[in-house]
Amino acid sequence: MEMVSIVLILGVKLMHFPQMNPFSRIISGTMTWGGWGAQMSSYQMRDQIEKYFALGITTFDHADIYGGYSTEAEFGAAFAKSNVPREKVQFITKCGIQMPCDNRRLSVKYYDYSKHHIQKSVENSLNYLNTDYIDVLLLHRPSPLLRAEIVAETIQKLQKQGKIKYFGVSNFMPSQITLLEKEIKLSWNQIECSLTHEIHMFDGTLDFLTAENIGAMVWSPLGSYFKKSNYQTARIKKCLHTLCEKYKCLEEQLLLAWLLKHPSKLYPIVGTTSLQRIENAIRALEIKIELTDWFLLLEASQGNEVP
């Protein structure tokens, strides 16, 4: 498929919520771009950004801790050298985890959602990413000591200053979101979801997000399929073998298409540094899985038919 065609496919599929700018339906995850994975040079990152953008990928997912607090700065330096206009892309980043590493000598891993830490994290991310604003700031993990009123006051101040556009959370359950939403409106929740980790389709999480008009980003959208060899993945592989022939696609594409069929309009975060794999992910947007095939894959994952 020609690159132009891929862009058109992605463009047609751009989804958005009324209160925010459109994000590319396939989000590029940067966790493994730097020290936690590919260790790309600045030139390689710049090339990657430009190629992804040419394919229609406009949304890049970060977190302050990626690469041991180093990947944001590496990405930002590369982006500054690229030909991609800042206003044409969206930067997501996360804060809250205090992680012991070479760049942060701490005695224990913990969560910090104090006013000081949120403000400092945002200032650092703005500086590292070479940008005047962050499109979406997420709280990375829920903390049992989180105080909703302090978070809300801090985020609202940062929004008034134009330093962040939208606010959300990552890995939060509905009750934790409800607590926060007593003080401030959330736009996104980033959760783990896949064919091998479909619990949030049944525990009320996705229903809640849809009802509250909160967007759902999905990390690890391929689940454990390519990582583990067990009874579950064996059942899925057998089912995929037949369905991939039917839909004339790759396994990874059908796994993404399975997620994309969900009515909550999931935004998969594809954490690859391979141009071919990101092209494959974009092509998954074309696949329309039939209802019975969707449930065949679910049955294969769960090991039994639905009740």
Tell me the per-residue pLDDT of 108-124, one tens digit each, with 9 for 90 and over: 999 999 999 999 999 99
Q: Which two tokens stand for residue 44?
A: 């390689």
Kindly list the catalytic residues: 66
Q: pLDDT tens digits for 237-255?
A: 999 999 999 999 999 999 9
Give the burial class of 181: count Cβ atoms within 10 A of its Cβ; 0-12 exposed, 13-18 middle, 19 or more buried. Answer: middle
Q: pLDDT tens digits for 281-291?
A: 999 999 999 99
Q: Quick one: which of 40, 8, 3 has its CA closest to 24? A: 8
Query: 3-223+260-286 — its CATH code?
Result: 3.20.20.100
Average pLDDT of 228-239? 97
pTM, to two decimals: 0.93
Show me where the domains of the chain are located.
3-223+260-286
What pLDDT shows up at residue 22?
A: 80
Q: Average per-residue pLDDT in the chain?
A: 94
Give CA–CA dist 88/76, Å, rounded: 15
What pLDDT shows up at residue 51?
A: 98
Give the burial class of 1: count Cβ atoms within 10 A of its Cβ; 0-12 exposed, 13-18 middle, 19 or more buried. Answer: exposed
Give CA–CA dist 92/76, Å, rounded: 13
What pLDDT shows up at residue 174?
A: 97
What pLDDT shows up at residue 21?
A: 52
Instruction: Name the strand (E) or helix (H) holding 41.
Output: none
What pLDDT shows up at residue 297?
A: 98
Yes or no: say if 191 and 216 are a contact pair by the CB < 8 Å rule.
yes
What pLDDT shows up at residue 14?
A: 39
For residue 121, what are the contacts with CB-CB under 8 A and spacing of at least 6? 64, 95, 96
List, as one string, the DSSP characters of 88-100: GSEEEEEE-EE--
